[in-house]
Amino acid sequence: MPIIVNLDVMMAKRKMSLNELSEKVDLTLANLSILKTGKAKAIRFSTLEAICKVLECQPGEILEYREE
């Protein structure tokens, strides 16, 4: 898939665990893990907004487009 999810990179830069992010954005650990591994088919803007707020970043720092 040409959309790359760099959530793990942003979490590492902020020194935040998956468990901590899950609690702060009120998302299940399983759903956050699916997003982190790039297996998600979609993401709600409200979820993206919450993640960006907690990680203090822009959506473009989490989502990246690469041609195949």
Give the CATH number for residue 25. Answer: 1.10.260.40
What pLDDT is recorded for position 22? 96
Tell me the residue range of the domain where 46 lies.
Answer: 3-65
Split at pLDDT 50, 70, 90, the class of 68 is: confident
DSSP annotation of 41: S
Domain count, the chain: 1
Contact, 61 vs 20, CB < 8 A? no
DSSP annotation of 45: H
SS3 (DSSP) at 3: strand
Q: Give the dihedral of Cα atoms 27, 33, 39, 43; nearest 10 deg.
A: 20
Split at pLDDT 50, 70, 90, the class of 1 is: low
Model pTM greater than 0.85? yes
